[in-house]
Amino acid sequence: MSLPNMQTPDIAAAARHMTMVEALREALREEMRRDERVILIGEDIGVEGGFGGAFTVTLGLAEEFGHRRVIDTPISEAAIAGVAAGAAAGGLRPVADVQYGDFLFIAMDQLANQAAKLRYMSGGKLSVPMVMRAPVGATTRGAQHGQSLEAFFMHVPGLKVACPSNPYDGKGLLKTAIRDDNPVLMFEHKLLYGSKGARKEAGGIDVLGYIPEEEYLIPFGQAKVARAGRDITVVANLLMVHRSLAAAAALAQSGIEAEVIDVRTLVPFDWDTVEASVRRTSRLLIVEEDNLTGGWGAEVAAHVGASCFDYLDAPIHRVAAPDTPVPFAPVMENFYIPSVTNIVAAARQLVS
């Protein structure tokens, strides 16, 4: 599956096709070549003959840059985050990763109490230019290896939150994150890494993106209209962008034109793009893989309800996972995660 209308034709014509993994790897390589302060920290990211991390993103980088800059760590997410925060405060630009986003809970003190607050507590004298990469999303691994955690970190002042849905955005956002002087959480959906390679994911989709030869950055806080429409606005992130686009295609067959917005970053959030769309369509549907209660979609609904109330012709609706842990059985996981059918049904209800 690929995203339509995501780039201008002239860029696409001169570009290369890459998977999310390849695009992220190229971003890391380019930034490490550009700035010797950029280092990588994580489990199994530089093992000789290894995978290159849990999902092969760092494959080959240890051979090019050496183990002084591609640093394998013990199995301790608290240590990984703590070392990254300390190295960033000391002048380096670490890119750390955890093998599964769920393990960020082990590092909450280092991320939420240290990295996020040092700049504020020091009156701007300290900065923490670190990136924490975290794979998220349900992939038949059960309750402790399949959560979507964006809302937890959206709630922490001082952290920026990025969530790319495709390789082009993945590369551009990661390069921007590495150059940012604030700590950034970079959430990557496991099913968007691709279905090929040494660590292929069951159910993964081959999202190929056009990657230009020339360098580019994607500014934080700029959402993308992935599909234009007039009848309803659908706001989504990560895997749900693709399911929302599939739902929009199905809705179009019955004359309902849905506008799909890929948020790209949750902090900072592009309120202007969402508000402008809602003022045109008069309806808003928010789609996220996380649990319904307290999800990032609730914040979007509250904000749009306050800023666009007079334009709304129907209540704001959210499609999200139930308030239960992620199930392990594939049939239950398929029921749990928002589907194209769920999104279509919700959109039809709002438009009718």
Q: Which two tokens stand for residue 132?
A: 């924490």
**Residue 179: CB atoms within 10 Å:** 16
Decide if 38 contacts 87 (C-beta within 8 A).
no
**Residue 339: CB atoms within 10 Å:** 15
Judged by DSSP in three states, 182 sits in coil
8-state DSSP, 323: S
Strands 209-212, 93-97: pairing is unpaired
Which residues are tagged catalytic?
145
Q: Which amino acid is at 169?
A: D
- CA angle 26–32–33, rounded 5-degree value: 90
**Beta carbons within 8 Å of 270's beta carbon, 6+ residues apart:** 221, 222, 223, 263, 264
Q: Which two tokens stand for residue 164?
A: 């790319």
Each residue of 292-303: b (16+ CB within 10 Å) or e?
Answer: eeebbbbbbbee
| Residue 115, burial from CB neighbour count under 10 angstroms (0-12, 13-18, 19+) | buried
Q: Cis before residue 268, ω within 30 degrees of 0?
A: yes
